[in-house]
Amino acid sequence: MPKFSIKSCLTICSLLCISGLSFADTPSIPLMVSKTVGGETSYNLNIKILMLFTVLTLIPALVMTTTAFMRITIVFSILRQAIGMPQVPSNQIVIGLSLIMTVYVMMPMINKINDTSLQPYLAGKVSEEAALTSAGGFLKQFMTKQTRKTDLHLFASLAKTKLGEGDYPIHILLPAFITSELKTAFQIGFLLFLPFLIIDLVTASVLMSMGMMMLSPMMISLPFKLLFFVLVNGWSLIVTSLISSFRI
C-alpha cells in the first residue's frame, strides 16, 4: 500500500466530505461537466476548485456528524462531569484526543477508500464521479453499522419513505445515525457516572454522620475519585471500551 502524504490525506478528506453530500447521481450541466469515453462524468477545473473550497468549509460539520467523533467527544465530556472537574482536561485536549481516536477508528475505512477510490483516481483510472461514489459507499456502510434499525424506521416513517434492504437514503441515514450516536454516548456516560456517584454518596453520608454539614462533599470526594480513576487505569479502560463499541 502506498504511503500517505499530506496531499493524499487532503484528497481523502475531500472525497469523504463531498461523498457525504453527493450520494445521488450528479446531473450533467453544460460548460461544467464533460463526458469521458466510458460515459462517466468529469468536472471542469473551475468546478473542481469551487467544490474543494466548499468542502473545506464543511469539513468540521461533516466530521462531527458522519464519523466517530460525536460519540467520543460526548463520552469524554460526561467523564469530566462525573469526576467533578468540568474544565480538566481542557476543551482543546478533549477535542484533540477525540480527533486522534476518530482517525484511529476510521482508519480501516480510510484504507479502503485509499485503495479503491483515491489511488485509482490519482492514477487516472476512474473519474471524479466514480471515486466519489465509491468513497460515499464506504462512508454510508460505516454509518449504517452504527445506526439502530429502530431509528432508521422512525425517520423513514416521518419521511413517509419505504426503506430498501441495506441501501438507505442519506436524508434518512444521517439523522438516524446522529440519534443513535447520541443514545449510545449517553448510555456509556450513565455507566461512567455510577462508580463516581457511589463515591459521592458514601462521602456525603460520612460527613453527615460526623456532623460536618457545612463542608462540601465534592471537595472531599474529588481526591478519592481521582485516586480510584488512576488505580483502575481509567483512561485505558475508557479508550478500549469506546473503540470496541464501534462496529467496523
DSSP string covering 125-182: SS-HHHHHHHHHHHHHHHHHHHS-HHHHHHHHHHTT-PPPSS---HHHHHHHHHHHHH
221 phi/psi in degrees, rounded to 5: -80, -20
Domain boundaries, the chain: 6-244
Distance of CA 117 to the CA centre of its chain: 21
Beta strands, E only, the chain:
33-35, 41-43
Measured distance CA(11)–CA(128) in Å, rounded: 11
Q: Is the predicted pLDDT of residue 2 greater than 50, yes or no?
A: no
In this structure, how many other beta carbons lie within 10 angstroms of the beta carbon of residue 171?
13
Measured distance CA(152)–CA(247) in Å, rounded: 17
Report the predicted TM-score, pTM, of the whole model to 2 decimal places: 0.75
Measured distance CA(24)–CA(215) in Å, rounded: 62
Q: Which of 25-34, 53-62, 111-120, 180-189 has the lowest mean pLDDT?
A: 25-34
Q: How confident is the model at residue 248 (pLDDT cuts 50, 70, 90)?
A: confident
Average pLDDT of the residues of the chain:
79
23 phi/psi in degrees, rounded to 5: -85, -20
Percent of the chain with pLDDT over 90: 15
Question: Hey, what's the cell of 178?
Answer: 446522529
pLDDT (tens digit per residue) in 139-177: 888 888 888 888 888 888 888 878 777 678 888 889 999
Measured distance CA(75)–CA(27) in Å, rounded: 41
Q: How confident is the model at residue 20 (pLDDT cuts 50, 70, 90)?
A: very low
Measured distance CA(194)–CA(81) in Å, rounded: 12
**Nearest Cα to Cα of residue 12 among 62, 46, 50:** 62
Q: Is the predicted pLDDT of residue 11 greater than 60, yes or no?
A: no
In this structure, how many other beta carbons lie within 10 angstroms of the beta carbon of residue 46?
10
CB 220 within 8 A of CB 203: yes
pLDDT (tens digit per residue) in 171-215: 888 999 999 999 999 999 999 989 998 998 888 888 888 877 777
- Using only C-alpha atoms, the chain has a radius of gyration, in whole angstroms, of 23
pLDDT for residue 23:
43
